[in-house]
Structure 1
């Protein structure tokens, strides 16, 4: 069974069990790094190692570790990336990271809020990250592996399918084609211009993808509402949903999101658990009106605070959900 947990940049962990309770020290592997993480994916946290040019992808519950190169000094199909973009050889910020369950391919959104790209890495084949000339700098907001393919969501609510191929000699992964599956420009709804965050969530229950939009009226206020859309790949459009069927809940965050069965955690269905992770104007670091962790009820539109706001530093990586797999091996969406 999957158990949602909450990780904070200062090293604290919370477990979701009829609310939140602090995890016992022995629930966290003693080998976990002490410094603040740089990213997260599923049940792993991304740390900077003591070795130059290396990240460590660590499962804090088991202690398992996987080394990755730091995204920097990219080669763009054998050509150095344009330094006018500001990314010569320095470390490039990782905004989102996902790992394919089959084959171990790692994909990441690298760059900044409105200037980002998709990067691929498979350390077992090539010790480097690669970008594609087909993929221009744009505003990527989220990314997910779904049905054997890599999908990306943009700030304009376009859903893109990124086809991945491998070099026949080096085995290096590359994006060989990009197709716009859904045109976000055709997805009009009230208050769209106030949406601050968009999340892409894979829904194992029925094999679909969801886009969750966090709507805020202005910086410094609480969340107004969360809107949920399902990707209709046949009609190439987003279809708004009023319910998750009553038996699912969503955990959404900038670093990691997931759909989970409600009955496994004694919670009501049709709820969205979301974090204070909205992008703020550069240099301001303003705290928003939400708590650190919050609940939105799709049935009545009510919002409630689950965990109060914590002190955070300007530019700090946000808190993130992690999804711990129990040893019983009972798979769950």
Structure 2
């Protein structure tokens, strides 16, 4: 997003670019109170397949605002064609969205998996025709057993949706506050201590979450702006059945080390190893608010 509010998608490898609508302006137009002091905080962009510059290109943007509302914006670049900003089963927040088998899914508060049915009007513009909760039950109470010695008050969680080898997975990240009484930066003492992985079983009605304790040789890379799986044997240095993660907390003020809460989690034994060696240089920054993110290779934008 540029200073004037204009947005675009760019492939960092090919430098190909597609212009998007001014997402902050589109989000504001969907608000019931345009004078509200609530503002958009976070944007995630997903596409059903590699993008091209054709007029039929489809882009979906999830916008999380400071009021904990999530807005789903449907785009045919450079125009927004529809907005969805309604409660789902009484909840207003989506944790994540992803395309899976050609359909748009969202993970809502309370571990509900929602499918958005996208249709096209007479002008061939994409719209959200309906929503349906396909997994409603809460998957597992509490947290992984190896974390049970820590008090529940000191945990918070983050959730990700990942398509992996024909399966739709949700990854639940457990973050422990080492010093809950600290008066320093809000998330300075947060450290990731474990993960749980579940597969959406959509063969039942309603669907169910099934616990996953191995990834079949895959590695998951998770983050707020995008998550993906890779076959470990195809890439040197990637560990199978592991989850790669980086710091993605909504910092009010950024630390000097943006990789402070990063690592590699082995779902077989629950061990976390550093993402970088101790001798690796730590990126430093002096101003502005920014976060590290994964960049995945692709043949098109």
TM-score above 0.5: yes
CA drift at 1:293:
3.4
d(CA) in 2 for partners of 1:254, 1:292: 14
Q: Name the residue aligned to 1:110.
A: 63
Q: Are the structure 2 counterparts of residues 274 and 66 from structure 1 closer, same or farther at C-alpha, using a change threshold of 3 Å?
A: same
User: Once the 2 structures are TM-superposed, how far is the Cα of residue 260 of structure 1 from its aligned partner?
Assistant: 0.4
Query: Cα deviation per residue 1:131-188 (whole Å; 9 max; x = unaligned)?
Result: 136556721111101111000112321110011112213x332211010111143542
Match of 2:242 among 265, 271, 285: 271
Q: Distance in 2 between matches of 1:275 and 1:210?
A: 19
Query: What are the Cα deviations for residues 234-268 of structure 1, in whole angstroms up to 9, with x where unaligned?
Result: 231111111112x1110111101001000011333
Q: Residue in 2 aligned with 1:214? A: 173
Residues in 1 aligned to 2:71 and 2:171: alpha-carbon distance in whole angstroms: 21
Taking structure 1 as the reference length, what is the TM-score of the superposition? 0.70
The 5 Å alignment of 1:146-157 reads 146-157=100-111
Measured after TM superposition, the shift of residue 72 of structure 1 is 3.6
Q: Alpha carbons of 1:317 and 1:165: their partners in 2 closer, same or farther (altered >3 Å)?
A: farther
After TM superposition, the structure 1 = structure 2 runs for residues 74-153 of structure 1, keeping only pairs within 5 Å, are 74=26, 81-83=31-33, 86=36, 92-101=40-49, 103-112=56-65, 114-123=68-77, 127-132=79-84, 138-153=92-107
Distance in structure 1 (CA, Å) of the matches to 2:74 and 2:269: 41
Following the alignment from structure 1 to structure 2, what is the Cα–Cα distance between the partners of residues 185 and 198?
13
What is the match of residue 158 of structure 2? 197
User: Which residue pairs with 2:180 in the alignment?
Assistant: none
CA separation of 1:201/1:287 partners in 2, compared to 1, >3 Å: closer, same or farther?
A: farther
Q: Output the CA distance in 2 between the equivalents of 1:106 and 1:299.
A: 36
Which of 1 and 2 has higher RCO (CA within 8 Å, sep 6+)?
1
2:222 corresponding residue in structure 1? 252
CA drift of 1:231 comes to 0.8
Aligned partner of 2:183 in structure 1 is none
2:182 aligned partner: none
Q: How does 1:9-28 map to 2 (within 5 A)?
A: none
> Unaligned stretches of 5+ in structure 1?
1-46, 328-333
* TM-score between the two structures when normalised by the length of structure 2: 0.76
Whether contact under 8 Å (1:225, 1:296) holds in the other structure is: yes
SS in 2 for 1:57: strand
Aligned position for 2:20: 68
Instruction: Quickly say closer, same or farther: Cα 1:264–1:316, change in 2 above 3 A.
Output: same
> Structure 1's 225 and 75: CA in aligned 2 closer, same or farther, altered over 3 A?
closer
Conserved? CA contact 2:256–2:286, under 8 Å:
no
What's the offset of the Cα at 1:316?
Answer: 2.5
Contact kept in structure 2, 1:284 and 1:314, CA below 8 Å: no
